[in-house]
Amino acid sequence: MQPGCVPWPPDEAARHRRDGYWTDEPLDTLLRRSAAEHGDRTAVVGGGARMTYAELDARADDLARGLLALGLARGDRIVVHLPNRPEFVIVTFALLRIGALPVYALPAHRLREIGHLCAFSGARGYVVPDRYLGHDYRADARGLLARPDIDLPHVLVAGDAQEFTALDAVEAAGRDRSGEPLPFAGPADDAALFLLSGGTTGLPKLIPRTHNDYTYNARASAEVCGFDRDTVYLAALPAAHNFALACPGVLGTLAVGGTVVLPDDPSPDEALRLIAEERVTATALVPSLLGLWLDAQEWLPEDVSSLRLVQVGGAKPDAATAARVRPVLGCALQQVFGMAEGLLNLTRADDPEDIVLTTQGRPLSPADEVRVVDDEGHDVPPGAVGQLLTRGPYTLRGYYRLPEHNARTFNEGWYRTGDLVRRLPSGHLVVEGRIKEVINRAGEKVSAEEVEEQLAAHPAVRQAAVVGEPDPVLGERIAAFVVLEQGLGCPSAAEAGEFLRARGLAGFKVPDRLTAIGSLPLTAIGKVDRKALLGAATPPQPVPPAG
């Protein structure tokens, strides 16, 4: 086991093997098998090119040999900061094939998040595009190299590498070594890659996903979603996020011989155009993006007749938006309540319509264990709201290198999700809220603590508290409350945003609203009373005109 990772207890591991959930194959085997079976079918479309399974398999091998020649080795952690481009897929399989572990950053992350990921994981490599959506990622690399606590021997760039190493050149060097043996990519109960947690603490935590658990995650969700070789999956969300990576996402599609389509930009127009052009059959969206797609399709319809399934998850959609999917897009809706930590809940194709519209699904696996508990950890009566605890064949047993946090978050393997749910007799879950201090802004998870810490660094701010207030489009928006230093004026939300971006914080964490208050309300035990702030966050109702 990779040091810093927590294994499943031997008896549970034995049970998951016996029951067929764990097959002891390295994760990259899913591409090997598909390449053997469907070599000349199209695996990936994107970046203006199409790649067959045979080509993808060969390119991943070439890059793997090139990476070995560069000096990367099994067990190395590599921060992968790539948007949805074919390189994302090639780099993923190349790393898996040499036993190096991708640490997946989101394209929107900036120097602060990336610096933490590199330092905390002890990364030996950083993989970036040259530019994406107006941002120059090579500048981030320079920022990292300037930090004394980060020793990053390899920066690899997809595109114009400038002073760094071009990914193309590494691949070409590997091609010259074709035939040289690749190391064994397993063992399969070891970590294969790291996902980022939605973040309750100041900085993202690393979630080790093993070959066994993640292969099962991808294959089982592909099966539940009816994916097969005729599936054309559009990765509309970042492939670096669990939902689009393996639920079933990119990996689930490749496991069954389907085609993955990677859009050049994340706009609804580009996505709808690609659906028509590539005859896309399935995709995954967060509720706010779904709303934009529905509006766009109503305004300027594209031919979306190929669509069979739209998954929506990451946050809870309102029932009215959910109900528009069939009439506007002409396909089935599936709700997905998942987490990078593991457990996935999905509605099924044969669920009654009201279940699909109003619940967030039921667990993927017969081996998923779910409890709903009160504040004391006792199971609540059937149908009552409580915190969701879970364990199972693909839910982590501990975050990477955080023993103290793990001691609080896990109990006999049960992971405390921080989500409040209600369980129906059918086993479907309805998400009713959360107790963790996370803001879910358009499906992106923002740690209140992290934004508070960063705001408090502003010279005019003595104290800051941040809450998620309801928003009709985003689900929640970020509302910040600040207590000012004596005699100093309050920065506007735009100024505060500039300040936070300049500190290297991802743009999606910047407060949408900022209000100065005299003091922060406290609870009886002296913690900041977020509920009271939430009351204050609701904008005053406009007063109707007199008469």
Identify residue 44 by its one-letter amino acid code: V
Place of tokens 């330092």: 119
Nearer to ligand OOB, 59 or 434 (CB): 434
Nearer to ligand OOB, 106 or 167 (CB): 106
Dihedrals phi, psi of 438, to nearest 5 degrees: -120, 140
Q: Which of 224, 329, 339, 455 binds ligand OOB (CB under 6 A)?
A: 339
Question: Which residues in the 255-314 window bind ligand OOB by CB under 6 A?
Answer: 313-314
Residue 417 touching ligand OOB (CB under 6 A): yes
Query: Is the dihedral angle over the CA atoms 55, 61, 64, 69 positive or is it negative?
Result: negative
Starting at the edge strand found earlier in the chain, the sheet holding 154-158 runs: 165-166, 154-158, 125-129, 77-80, 101-104, 191-196, 206-210
Task: Pick the piece of the chain touching ligand OOB (CB under 6 A) from 82-90, 133-141, 210-218, 329-337.
Answer: 329-337
Residue 248 touching ligand OOB (CB under 6 A): no
Q: Which of 338, 363, 491, 497 binds ligand OOB (CB under 6 A)?
A: 338
DSSP string, 405-431: HHHHHEETTEEEEEEEEEE-TTS-EEE
Task: Pick the piece of the chain touching ligand OOB (CB under 6 A) from 54-62, 156-164, 268-276, 337-345.
Answer: 337-345
Q: What angle do CA 224, 272, 225 make, to 5 degrees?
A: 0
Nearer to ligand OOB, 242 or 297 (CB): 242
C-beta separation of 254 from 31 below 8 A: yes
Q: Which of 198, 204, 252, 413 binds ligand OOB (CB under 6 A)?
A: 198
Starting at the edge strand found earlier in the chain, the sheet holding 475-484 runs: 461-471, 475-484, 513-516
Nearest to 311 by CA among 296, 328, 333: 333
Q: Which of 434, 477, 509, 530 binds ligand OOB (CB under 6 A)?
A: 434
Residue 475 touching ligand OOB (CB under 6 A): no
For 401, other C-beta atoms within 10 Å of its C-beta total 16
Nearer to ligand OOB, 231 or 440 (CB): 440
Spatial CB neighbours of 367, under 8 Å, sequence gap ≥ 6: 15, 16, 19, 21, 392, 393
Residue 252 touching ligand OOB (CB under 6 A): no
Q: Which of 57, 171, 419, 450 binds ligand OOB (CB under 6 A)?
A: 419
Residue 325 CB, nearest distance to ligand OOB (Å)? 14
- Cα atoms in the 13 Å half-sphere on the side-chain side of 464: 25
Nearer to ligand OOB, 418 or 521 (CB): 418
Residue 436 CB, nearest distance to ligand OOB (Å)? 7
Token digits of residue 113 = 């998040």
Nearer to ligand OOB, 333 or 496 (CB): 333
Question: Which residues in the 507-526 window bind ligand OOB by CB under 6 A?
Answer: none
How far, in Å, CA of 242 to CA of 340, rounded? 6
Residue 233 touching ligand OOB (CB under 6 A): no
Buried b (16+ CB within 10 A) or exposed e, 380-392: beeeeebbbbbbb
Query: Distances in Å between the alpha carbon of 44 and those of 54, 57, 94?
Result: 11, 11, 15
Residue 491 touching ligand OOB (CB under 6 A): no
How far, in Å, CA of 486 to CA of 498, rounded? 22
Task: Pick the piece of the chain touching ligand OOB (CB under 6 A) from 61-69, 100-108, 242-250, 533-541.
Answer: 242-250
Residue 242 touching ligand OOB (CB under 6 A): yes
Residue 445 touching ligand OOB (CB under 6 A): yes
Residue 468 touching ligand OOB (CB under 6 A): no
Applying CB under 6 A, the site for ligand OOB has a residue count of 22
The contact set with ligand OOB (CB under 6 A) reads 198, 242-243, 247, 313-316, 335-340, 344, 360, 417, 419, 431, 434, 440, 445
